[in-house]
Structure 1
Amino acid sequence: MTPPPRRRRSGASGATPSHSFPRRGEIRRAQAITTYGVGSLIAVDHESFVVSGLDEADRSWRPDESPRIYERRLARLLDVDHFRLPPASDDTSKDGLRVRRFPLMHSCPECNELQHHRDFNPPAGRSVCGTCEVDLVPSRFVVACEAGHLGEFPYWQWVHRSSDRGSTTVGKCGGKLRLRTSGRTSSLRSILVSCTCGRAPEVSMEGSFRRKALKDLGLKCRGHRPWLGTSAADQECGLPLRTLQRGSSSVWQPVLKSALSIPPWSNSREDPLAGHWEKLRKYETREAVEIYLDAVFTEGAWPLSLDEVMTLLAAEREEDPSDGEPATFDHRYRALRNKEYERLRSGNDESEHSRDEQFVCETPLGDQSVLDPLGVTGPMLVKKLREVRALKAFTRLVDAESTTDAKEMPLSDKPLRWLPAMEVRGEGVFLQLDEERLGTWEKTFAVAARVERMRTAHQRVLDQRADDPSRAVPSPATPRMVLLHTLAHVLVTEWSLEAGYPAASLRERLYAADDMAGVLIYTATSDSAGSLGGLVAQGEPDLLGRTVCSAVRRAEWCSSDPLCMETEVSATGTNLAACHACVMLPETSCEHNNILLDRALLVGTPDEPAVGFFQRVLAG
C-alpha cells in the first residue's frame, strides 16, 4: 500500500515530476476486493489509513502488475468494458494500492493532546508526537451515514454540547482538546475528553453511539469522502450521522457481483473484442457485422470467425429482458444466473473441449439411480471453472445484500469503464433436487408456515433499512431457497471434515427460483487449497450419496440442542434452527451472510418430522 506522497522530485528528464512513495504494510490481492477495498479503513501497525478511490488508478496501477480481466457477461451487467486485478503489494512490486491517512484526529498517550495529525509536528514519514516522541494513536471513533459518507468524530461539539448546543464552529473557544483513559473499566465511560478552555466539563464517550446522539447536537452529514482526497468536493447530504468504531464491519461492506465463465464466452478468444460488443449489437445482419470487423481489424487478423461472432451475439441477446419485463439490475442478474443454471445442467462433453476452454462440466460415470431415494438428481462434475468477482461499490451502516443503488457509494468520483476484480479458477460439484418431490414438500402447510416466519422477519429487517419501505428489496426466502441454502452449508461442512478441504476454501452458489433448484459447491480460493483436485471426485453418485446421508445425519444433532432446534426466533428472526455449532459457515463461503438457514427443513423437528425434506433418509 502506498500513502500519498510527502515530497516530489524531478523525473529523469527534469520535466515530469515523480513521486517518492513511502510503503506501509501489504495485503493480498483478494483482500483489495473483499476486505480492504476502496473507501475502507485499514490499520497498519499504529497508523490508520483509508484506501483511495480509483480516479488516479489508470496512471498508478501498472499494466504488468494490474492486468486486465475480461468476462463479458459480468461486464455487461455492470456496464463496464473490462476489469482489472488489483496491484500486488509485495516487496518486488513497483507500486500498490494508494491510501490516505484517516482519521486525521490523533491523540498522544503521553501528553493526552487530541488534535489534527499535522499539529503534532511529526517528523517526515513518521507518526509520532513531535514533543513526546511517542507513537500517536488514531482516533478510535469515526462517523458515517447510510449514503456511504465518512467523517471525523466531532469531539469539539461533543465536549461543548452543554455550553454551545447546536454550534458547529469548531475551536472557537480557543482551547485545546485532550483525551485520556481513566482505566477503571473497558467501557466508553472510561474514555474522557476535555477542553482546556474550561467552559465545559470533562465528558466521557458514553452515549456517543446512540442512534440520535449526533442529531441531538444539530449535526448532519456534510458528504465527506476522504478516500477521494481534498480535490473531491463535499456533497450536500443531510442524512443522520452514526458513531462507529474505526474497526467496525459496519464502516465498510463491499457490494460484490460475480459470474461464471460459461460457453460460448469461456475460451478467452473473444477478449480482443472487449469494448466492441455494444457497437456490434447494433448490427442485425452478417454483412453489417463483417463490414464493422473489417474496419476495426486488419485483413486476416480477426480474433474470431464471423460465425463465432454471430454465435456470441445471439448468446448475449438471449439474456436480454423479454418484452414487458423490466430491465432492472436484479432482473438482468437473474438472467445471468439462469444461463449458468442451464449450462450446469446440460454440461459440455469432452468432445466439445478446446485447449482454451475454461468451463468443463461432465456427467459422472456412476449409476445415478442410487441418488433417487435421497431426492437428489442431476449431479454434474465441474472439472474446470472460472469465476470473476468484481467490486461494484460499497456501503456503510447498511447490509450490502439489502441495499439499493441509492445507498451504494461508487469507487471513483468520475465514472470509469472498468472495476477492480479477481478471478478464481477451480472445480466443483453441481447437484439438483427432484422437482416433483420438492414441489410436494414445499406446499406442505408446516413447511410454508415455518419459512413464512423467516421471510416476514427478514422483510422487516429490509424495510427498516430502506429509506422508503415501498422500495425495499424483497426477501428471497422461499422453502426451496432455505432448503438449498441449508443443504449447501451442511455439504460444505461435511466435505471439510471428510475430504480435507478447509471450510473457508469452499463456496456455495445457489440456483433457487420457481424453475431452478440447484446448488454448486466449488473451490473458492486461488491458493493451494483451491487446486487439490479432490472435490470433483466427491460428485460421483455413490460417494455423493454417502456424503448427503452423512451430512443430513450430522445435521440431525447440534451441541446446542435442544435450544437450537426448538428456538422460535434468532437474534433477528432470519434463522431458525441454525447456529455456529451446526450449519453456519465462514462468511467467505456463504452467499447470504449466514442468514435464512434452518436445518429443521432438512431433518424435521421432534414434533413435526415431516417438515424435513430428507426425513425418509433418517427413517430408512
Structure 2
Amino acid sequence: MTPPPARRRRTATNGTAPANNLPRRGTVRRAQAISTYGVGSLIAVDHESFVVSGLDLADQSWRKDESPVIHERRLARLLDVDYFRLPPASDDTSKDGLRVRRFPLTHSCPECNDLQPHRDFSPPAGRSACGTCEVDLVPSRFVVACEAGHLDEFPYWHWVHRSPDRDSARIGTCGGKLRMRTTGRTSSLRSIVISCTCGQVPEVSMEGSFRRNALKDLRLTCRGARPWLGTSATDPKGCGLSLRTLQRGSSSVWQPVLKSALSIPPWSSGRADPLAEHWTALRQFTDPEHVRIYLQGAFRGECPLSLDEVMDLLDAEREEDPEVDRAPSFDHRYRALRNKEYERLRSGNDESELSRDEQFVCETPLGDPSVLRPLGITGPMLVKKLREVRALKAFTRLVDAESTTDPKEMPLSEKPLSWLPAMEVQGEGVFLRLDESRLDAWEKAPAVAARVERMRTAHQRMLEQRADDPSRAVSSPATPRMVLLHTLAHVLINEWSLEAGYPSASLRERLYAADDMAGVLVYTATSDSAGSLGGLVAQGEPEPLDRAVRSAIRRAEWCASDPLCREAEAAGSIGINLAACHACVMLPETSCEHNNILLDRALLVGTPDEPSVGFFRQVLAG
C-alpha cells in the first residue's frame, strides 16, 4: 500500500516553519509504523523511494506529546525494555514524524537512460528529477539483501562487467557510465537491458539476476550495509553471507517481528506505571523493608503505590517466571506469559468489583453454558474490555519472522534502547475452551495424529531449510489441538464477520494450545470504533455461540474449491496446510497469528474416507 502523496509545507501554529524544517513526504498511520512501514522497511511515495530510519535519534525527534509513552510491564519484561512509545502521528497538526532516508540511491532517467547515484543527476532543489532532462527519476527496482537483515544497492556495475575474476574494489574504474533501457518487447526481466559506455563489455539483461546463486557466482557477498542507520553505515563485524536479488516492493525485503501481550490484573489498572523503570532493581529484594527503603530513595518521598501493592505486584511478576532449571529462553518466557493470560481468561475479572481505570473485564455469560456441551465447548467468557499492546521487537529479511531465531533478527537501532515502538488496541472479545476429556480422546486417534504429523513434518522441514544450523532450528508448534484450535478460530471469525457485521480484518485470534491449555480468544484487532460496540461480546452468550459454531462447522463442510481442497495432499506454503484455502478458512494475515499456515478444516468436519478425524463430526450428523 502506498501512502498518500505529499501535502503542503507545514507551518507552526504561529505561521512560522516548524522547529525541524525537513521536507515532508506522505503520511503513515501509527499501526503501519509497526506492521508495514517500520524501521528498516522501504516505503514508496509517488515516484520516490525511502527507507525508514533507525531509532537512535528518535528520543530527540519523537515529541513526547505526539509520541506518548505506554506501559505494559509483562511485555516490557519479556522484551527487556522499560516502556514503549507510540509512533508519532502523521496529521496536519503534527510537528514531526517518522524519519526516512532516500534508498535506493541508484536511479535511472527514462529520458536519457543514465543509471547512476541520485546526486549525480544534479536534481533541482526539492525535486527528484534529472537535472538535464527535467523528467522524474526512477528509483532502482532492484535491491539486494541477506538473511542477516542487511540491505544494499544492486551491483549493476558487476552485473554488466560479469567476469567473476574482477576485483570488486575496482568498481567503476572502466571509465564508462551505466545505462538502463527497456526494450518493451515483453514484461520480463529480459526486456530490462543494462549497458556501459566503456565499450569493453556487451549489454546484458537482468534475466537470471534472481537466481539464488546469481551474485555468488560473481564472488559478491554481503558487506553488512545498513542504510536505515545512514548512507555509509555498515556492520562493524562484517557479514559475508550470500546476497539475494529482490524487487524493491517485495514482502521479503522487510518482515516485522511482533510480540504482544494482554493487559491482565494486577497490571491492567495502570497503577503500576510509575514504577516502570524500577522493576529490575525491585526484583532484587524479597524483604518488604528493603523495598520500602528503595522506594523512598527512588521517589524522594511518598511512592504512588502502597508497600503492600508493590509487594503484590512483585509476587505476580515472579509467578510468571518460567519453571526451568537453566536460564530461560525467550520461548520459555513467552510461553509463561501466555499461560498467565490463559489462567486469567478462565478465572475472569468481574466488572462490578473494578475501578473505572481497569482495562480488563472478563465475565461469565448469563446464559446456561450446558447448551454447548454437545459441541465439546466449555468455559465461554465474555471479555467486555481488553487492552493489547503490540511491540515491534526487530525485523527480518528473506526469512519468515515466525521461523527465525535471534541471530537473524535485525535490531531497530545501532545502540541498545530502553524502549521499543508499540501500539495499543482496546476492544472486546470472546474466549472459549474445548472439553479436555473429549479433546484428549480425539487427538490420540491414529488417523488424527497421522494427518497432523504430515503437516508438522513439512513445517519442520521448512524451518530447517531456513536455519543456518538445522540442528538449532525452532520446533514446529503443530499438534492436533493447535491445528484444531487454529482452524476453529478462523471459521468463527468468518462466521462472525457475516453474522455480526464485523469485517474479518477487524477480528483477530489468540491461541492457547499446549498440554495444559486448549482455548482460543477472538477479539477486535483495530483501534477504531468497531472495536468496542459490544457486538462481538453479544456473540459469546451460550445460545448465540451455539448457533454460530454450528453454522461455522456446516459452512466448513463445503468449499468452492472442493473436491480439490478437501482431498489435497498438501496445500499452502510447501504443503504446510491440508484442507484449507482462501475460499474456505484462510483470513487476512493481520488476523492470523501464524500467517495462514497449519490449517486443516478436515479436523473440524472429517473427510469422506475418515469422518472420525473431525472433532465436530456429531454436529453434521445431528
Q: Normalising TM by the smaller chain, what interval?
A: over 0.9
How is 1:487-566 mapped onto 2 (pairs within 5 angstroms)?
487-566=488-567
In the other structure, the counterpart of 2:457 is 456
How is 1:108-119 mapped onto 2 (pairs within 5 angstroms)?
108-119=109-120
Question: In 2 relative to 1, CA 323–247 (structure 1 residues): closer, same or farther, beyond 3 Å?
Answer: closer
- Output the aligned Cα RMSD: 1.4
Task: Say if 2:349 is the partner of 1:330.
Answer: no
In the other structure, the counterpart of 1:8 is none
In the other structure, the counterpart of 2:466 is 465
Counterpart amino acid of 2:358?
E
CA distance, structure 1, for counterparts of residue 485 and residue 509 of structure 2? 10
Deviation for aligned residue 1:234: 3.4
In the other structure, the counterpart of 1:427 is 428
Deviation for aligned residue 1:348: 1.3
Deviation for aligned residue 1:165: 4.5
Residues 84-117 of structure 1: per-residue CA shift (max 9 Å, x gap): 0000111210000000000000000001000000
Task: Say if 2:250 is the partner of 1:234.
Answer: no
Deviation for aligned residue 1:254: 0.2
In the other structure, the counterpart of 2:253 is 251
In the other structure, the counterpart of 1:437 is 438
In the other structure, the counterpart of 2:7 is none
Counterpart amino acid of 2:280?
E
Deviation for aligned residue 1:18: 6.1
Deviation for aligned residue 1:297: 2.1
CA distance, structure 2, for counterparts of residue 560 and residue 19 of structure 1? 55
Residues 449-477 of structure 1: per-residue CA shift (max 9 Å, x gap): 00000000000000000000010010000
In the other structure, the counterpart of 1:474 is 475
- 1:596 pairs with 571, 589, 598, which one? 598
Counterpart amino acid of 1:296?
A
Unaligned runs of 5+ in 2: 4-17
How is 1:243-322 mapped onto 2 (pairs within 5 angstroms)?
243-299=245-301, 301-322=302-323
Unaligned runs of 5+ in 1: 3-16
Deviation for aligned residue 1:162: 4.0
Deviation for aligned residue 1:350: 2.8
How is 1:389-408 mapped onto 2 (pairs within 5 angstroms)?
389-408=390-409
Deviation for aligned residue 1:584: 0.2
For the residue of structure 2 that corresponds to 1:593, the secondary structure is coil
- Does the 8 Å CA contact 1:162/1:200 hold for their aligned counterparts? no
In the other structure, the counterpart of 1:353 is 354
In the other structure, the counterpart of 1:14 is none
Deviation for aligned residue 1:286: 1.2
CA distance, structure 1, for counterparts of residue 384 and residue 559 of structure 2? 33
In the other structure, the counterpart of 2:89 is 88
CA distance, structure 2, for counterparts of residue 522 and residue 56 of structure 1? 35
In the other structure, the counterpart of 1:613 is 615
- Does the 8 Å CA contact 1:166/1:219 hold for their aligned counterparts? no
Counterpart amino acid of 1:399?
D
Residues 265-315 of structure 1: per-residue CA shift (max 9 Å, x gap): 00001111110011111111111111111222243x321111111110000
- Does the 8 Å CA contact 1:378/1:431 hold for their aligned counterparts? yes
In the other structure, the counterpart of 2:342 is 341
Task: Say if 2:203 is the partner of 1:205.
Answer: no
CA distance, structure 1, for counterparts of residue 537 and residue 45 of structure 2? 40
Counterpart amino acid of 2:486?
H
How is 1:363-378 mapped onto 2 (pairs within 5 angstroms)?
363-378=364-379
CA distance, structure 2, for counterparts of residue 455 and residue 116 of structure 1? 47
- Does the 8 Å CA contact 1:502/1:529 hold for their aligned counterparts? no
Deviation for aligned residue 1:573: 1.2
CA distance, structure 2, for counterparts of residue 472 and residue 350 of structure 1? 44
In the other structure, the counterpart of 1:573 is 575
Identity %: 82
CA distance, structure 1, for counterparts of residue 541 and residue 324 of structure 2? 41
In the other structure, the counterpart of 2:143 is 142
Which is further off, 368-377 or 521-530? 521-530
- Does the 8 Å CA contact 1:555/1:599 hold for their aligned counterparts? yes
CA distance, structure 2, for counterparts of residue 306 and residue 606 of structure 1? 63
Residues 365-417 of structure 1: per-residue CA shift (max 9 Å, x gap): 00000000000000000000000000000000000000000000000000000
For the residue of structure 2 that corresponds to 1:268, the secondary structure is coil
CA distance, structure 1, for counterparts of residue 382 and residue 193 of structure 2? 60
For the residue of structure 2 that corresponds to 1:535, the secondary structure is helix
For the residue of structure 2 that corresponds to 1:378, the secondary structure is strand
Aligned length: 605
- Does the 8 Å CA contact 1:503/1:585 hold for their aligned counterparts? yes
In the other structure, the counterpart of 1:5 is none
- Does the 8 Å CA contact 2:164/2:217 hold for their aligned counterparts? no
How is 1:21-40 mapped onto 2 (pairs within 5 angstroms)?
21-40=22-41
For the residue of structure 1 that corresponds to 2:295, the secondary structure is helix
CA distance, structure 2, for counterparts of residue 163 and residue 298 of structure 1? 67
Deviation for aligned residue 1:321: 2.3
Question: In 2 relative to 1, CA 120–334 (structure 1 residues): closer, same or farther, beyond 3 Å?
Answer: same
For the residue of structure 2 that corresponds to 1:341, the secondary structure is helix
In the other structure, the counterpart of 2:121 is 120
In the other structure, the counterpart of 2:70 is 69
CA distance, structure 2, for counterparts of residue 424 and residue 260 of structure 1? 10
CA distance, structure 2, for counterparts of residue 135 and residue 398 of structure 1? 34
Deviation for aligned residue 1:232: 3.3
For the residue of structure 1 that corresponds to 2:520, the secondary structure is strand
- So what's the TM-score if we normalise by structure 2? 0.96
CA distance, structure 1, for counterparts of residue 362 and residue 205 of structure 2? 61
Counterpart amino acid of 2:576?
T
For the residue of structure 2 that corresponds to 1:100, the secondary structure is strand
CA distance, structure 1, for counterparts of residue 455 and residue 234 of structure 2? 43
Question: In 2 relative to 1, CA 117–483 (structure 1 residues): closer, same or farther, beyond 3 Å?
Answer: same
Question: In 2 relative to 1, CA 146–107 (structure 1 residues): closer, same or farther, beyond 3 Å?
Answer: same
- Does the 8 Å CA contact 2:164/2:218 hold for their aligned counterparts? no
For the residue of structure 2 that corresponds to 1:193, the secondary structure is strand
Question: In 2 relative to 1, CA 497–18 (structure 1 residues): closer, same or farther, beyond 3 Å?
Answer: closer
- Does the 8 Å CA contact 2:20/2:96 hold for their aligned counterparts? no
CA distance, structure 2, for counterparts of residue 565 and residue 233 of structure 1? 50
CA distance, structure 1, for counterparts of residue 322 and residue 353 of structure 2? 29
CA distance, structure 1, for counterparts of residue 324 and residue 598 of structure 2? 33
How is 1:374-385 mapped onto 2 (pairs within 5 angstroms)?
374-385=375-386
Deviation for aligned residue 1:324: 1.3
